[in-house]
Amino acid sequence: MHKNSLSLLLLALLLTYNTNNAVAQKKSKNRIKVENLDHFRVSPKLVVGIVVDQMRYDYLTRFWNHYGDDGFKRLVNEGFNCKNNHFNYAPTSTGPGHTSVYTGTTPSIHGIIGNNWYDKKTDQEVYCASDDTFASVGTTSDAGKMSPHRMTVTTVTDQLRLHNQMRSKTIAIALKDRGAVLPGGHTANAAYWYHGMDEGNWISSTFYMNELPKWVIDFNTSNTAESYNKPWTTLKDINTYLESGLDNNNYEGLFTGQTTPTFPHDLPGLWSSNGKYDIIKATPYGNSITADFAIAALDGEDLGADTITDFLAISFSSTDYVGHKYGVNSKEIQDTYVRLDVDLARLFKALDKKVGENEYTVFLTADHGAVHVPAYLKDQKIPAGYMDGEELVTKFQEFLKYKYGTTDLVKNTSNYQMFLDHDVIKNLDLQIGEVQSDIAQELLNYKDIDKVYTAQQMWQNEYTRGIPYILQKGYNQKRSGDILMVLKPGTISYSPTGSSHGSPQIYDTHVPLLFYGKGIRKGSTTMRTEIPDIAPTISTLLGIAFPNGSTGTPITKVLK
């Protein structure tokens, strides 16, 4: 009797264990299934990448009280703000900047070492997006002969399309061709950029299409561009723009035909003498027409219409044109950002309506910062100035003749790099490393130059911080020069009016990085982040492979 009871008890326990185990396994399978579904629900219908050309980080804080609730403040208050975000390479310019944002790496890997650079193979200057093997679409000019062929790696936009068997759609838009071509990657469905002059149209390249789609043709014929041929006045009372300098000063450039750089700027009166439709680019209206076109693209390209994630890459370029002409402390730059804030609010409202609130993800950053006008800094008793190029060239040529008997050793100087003629050096029975070192030592004696590094140093060392780290990340073994020069802080090679960029100094590297929308946490960080971190962060959000040259790291604090 006891044995039978014990057997029955063991049988009951066994059945209970098997039943519970089966239930547990079923729950586990269901949980995995639910977790998988939750993962797919995190993927947004649309990713919107926004690059604001020449946006310093402090434009967020300086002009904060003038922004509305639905533009920059929406991104900051409801999204994630990386306050200590930097470019980790130089030169800091538009082509490399846009490429680094979307490839998750630096010019040392992706190959876009400048907007233009000296090509050592062809012995001529090349442009980062030019490609004569393709034709213009939407214009009879050569302005559309572009492609991303000089970019040697993939972008996050490429990886998204590859991940979804090309069912995702990528559309890239900018006033500047390079601001659209490079973010769009090698597989973009379309990249569109603005051609001014007598046309004022959005155009493309046969790399993407043979003719413009109907919605673009309709936009070009809608007189939208013509509507911006109007005076540029401040959006708000100019007397409330206390965060910028005097309206009339000696630090700002002029449109042809102007006598003072002051508001209002009479675009209709200046139209013919300033490239007609081109003048729009150097006003905040260039950003407005970019927003108009991007909003039209949402419907025209049917973006974010299904569960397969699409990508819209937008670059607002007018901020750069205005900064170059008027400088970072001008009433014009302040008004441009106040107006851009309104354009961003319009864009976000259109995204809410078309794609749905919390169904899209946005990141906003810049392609570089900018320096205060050195003439202004000097007047404030801050060390600054302009490189005397003629004096430097004269003195350096005298050195070459004295040291080597010829000036033929140098083939090109551009982007603060010097390219030497290795054949000439070899024929003189000289060692390239010794020549590089001797020239570097000579250049260090010049008053405007702060630091000099050689290609041999870039090859032989691995720098982890400071200026040499930034230079090394921008140094491409196949494309960069033999000598890398850094000007003193606050010193630039530029006109005495307006701001510029390109250096490894912090005013050129510190730029905003904001994330907002689906899959993004609310919050902020003062932890250092770097531009190449953006693409891996978005890739992680989407669950796709990183761009194939990526060297950045996902910013985990950003992601839910």
Whether 433 and 544 map to the same domain: the answer is no
Give the Cα separation of 94 and 368 in Å (integer). 7
Give the Cα separation of 355 and 177 in Å (integer). 27
Q: Which residues 6+ apart lie within 8 Å of 541 measured at CB? A: 42, 43, 44, 361, 519, 520, 559
Give the Cα separation of 451 and 485 in Å (integer). 6
Whether 445 and 317 map to the same domain: the answer is no
The CATH number of residue 426's host domain is 3.30.1360.150
Give the Cα separation of 106 and 99 in Å (integer). 8
Write down the residue that tokens 């490079």 correspond to. 182
Both tokens of 155, joined, read 């972008």
Q: Where are the beta strands (DSSP E) in 135-291?
A: 136-137, 170-174, 190-195, 201-205
Whether 250 and 298 map to the same domain: the answer is yes
Three-state DSSP state, 195: strand
Q: Which residues 6+ apart lie within 8 Å of 307 measured at CB? A: 40, 43, 45
Whether 419 and 313 map to the same domain: the answer is no
Last residue of a domain, one of 453, 488, 523: 488
Whether 325 and 218 map to the same domain: the answer is yes
Domain membership flag for residue 14: no
**Type of residue found at 159:** Q
User: Minimal CA–CA distance to 91: which of 104, 108, 77, 75?
Assistant: 108
Burial of 399 (0-12, 13-18, 19+ CB in 10 A): middle
The CATH number of residue 247's host domain is 3.40.720.10
What pLDDT score does 390 carry?
A: 87
Whether 346 and 285 map to the same domain: the answer is yes
Which residue range(s) make up the domain with 143? 42-80+91-114+128-379+513-558
Whether 50 and 182 map to the same domain: the answer is yes
**What Å distances lie between residue 491 and 370, 447, 486, CA to CA?**
12, 11, 10
Domain membership flag for residue 121: no
Three-state DSSP state, 536: helix
User: Minimal CA–CA distance to 367: which of 82, 79, 116, 99?
Assistant: 99
What pLDDT score does 389 carry?
A: 86
User: Minimal CA–CA distance to 252: which of 462, 532, 549, 495?
Assistant: 495
The answer to whether 63 touches 536, Cβ cutoff 8 Å, is no
Last residue of a domain, one of 442, 471, 488: 488
Phi then psi dihedrals of residue 450, to 5 deg:
-100, -40
Domain membership flag for residue 99: yes
Domain membership flag for residue 291: yes
Write down the residue that tokens 């397969």 correspond to. 308
**Type of residue found at 412:** N
What pLDDT score does 280 carry?
A: 98
Whether 430 and 453 map to the same domain: the answer is yes
Active-site entry in 92, 94, 283, 361: 94
What pLDDT score does 128 carry?
A: 98
User: Minimal CA–CA distance to 518: which of 364, 314, 365, 356?
Assistant: 356
Domain membership flag for residue 476: yes
Whether 355 and 396 map to the same domain: the answer is no
Domain membership flag for residue 349: yes
Give the Cα separation of 538 and 309 in Å (integer). 12
Domain membership flag for residue 498: no
556 annotated active-site: no
Write down the residue that tokens 């992706």 correspond to. 110
Task: Tally DSSP H helices, then E strands, for the chain.
Answer: 20, 18
pLDDT values of the chain reduced to their tens digit, one per residue, 560 residues: 444 444 444 444 444 444 444 444 443 434 334 444 444 456 999 999 999 999 999 999 999 999 999 999 999 999 999 999 999 999 999 999 999 999 999 999 999 999 999 999 999 999 999 999 999 999 999 999 999 999 999 999 999 999 999 999 999 999 999 999 999 999 999 999 999 999 999 999 999 999 999 999 999 999 999 999 999 999 999 999 999 999 999 999 999 999 999 999 999 999 999 999 999 999 999 999 999 999 999 999 999 999 999 999 999 999 999 999 999 999 999 999 999 999 999 999 999 999 999 999 999 999 999 999 999 999 999 999 999 888 889 999 999 999 999 999 999 999 999 999 999 999 999 999 999 999 999 999 999 999 999 999 999 999 999 999 999 999 999 999 999 999 999 999 999 999 999 999 999 999 999 999 999 999 999 999 999 999 999 999 999 999 999 999 999 999 99
Give the Cα separation of 180 and 465 in Å (integer). 31
What pLDDT score does 42 carry?
A: 67
Domain membership flag for residue 37: no
Question: If you ran DSSP here, which 8-state letter would residue 369 be given?
Answer: -
Whether 315 and 356 map to the same domain: the answer is yes
**What Å distances lie between residue 385 and 118, 249, 254, 372, 452, CA to CA?**
27, 18, 21, 11, 18
Whether 283 and 266 map to the same domain: the answer is yes
The answer to whether 498 touches 376, Cβ cutoff 8 Å, is no
Query: Domains in the chain: how many in total?
Result: 2
Whether 304 and 451 map to the same domain: the answer is no
